[in-house]
Amino acid sequence: MSQALSLYRRLASVPGGRWLYGRLICFKAPYFATIAPRFVALEPGRCEVDIRDRRRVHNHIGTVHAIALCNVAELSAGMMTDVTIPAGMRWIPKGMSVEYLAKAKGTLHAVATPENAAIEAASGYAWPVVVKVRNDAGEDVFRARIDMWVSPRAKA
């Protein structure tokens, strides 16, 4: 089990633990702090993250900015990949395609899942991840497909 998943499971059951987990992830990758993520679920094959509609993530028309949506997509896809791939592998996003489906308002809920089963190769492989972001009413407001490159960790 990955360290990220082990820590999540320990913290998720205590009061404020999911908030703390999000803060720890943002300490490791500071740019994600701009969206103040709250992890809702993390397990192999699935990651769910909420972000609140706050002024600091707004665009000029008062809705959640496109890049904030991309940030929650990359965060949820990356964490899902991290806790799903074999321990001897690492990942990096290689590309992202996005669709803006509706104005993003209210608390937004991102769900990252693999597009298909991984086709593993010892030298590395591409693994697409799909992220759907819904608003409070359950309507899709954003969709992303992130191509993850999964490869062996460097030998120490």
Residue 58 backbone dihedrals phi, psi, to 5 degrees: -80, 155
CA distance 7 to 123: 29
Could you report the per-residue pLDDT of 40-61, keeping only the tens digit for each?
999 999 999 999 999 999 999 9
Could you report the per-residue pLDDT of 1-40, keeping only the tens digit for each?
789 999 999 999 999 999 999 999 999 999 999 999 999 9
Domain 3-152 - what CATH class?
alpha beta
Could you report the per-residue pLDDT of 67-78, keeping only the tens digit for each?
999 999 999 999
Of 67, 49, 64, nearest to 113 (Cα)?
Answer: 49
Could you report the per-residue pLDDT of 100-121, keeping only the tens digit for each?
999 999 999 999 999 987 667 7
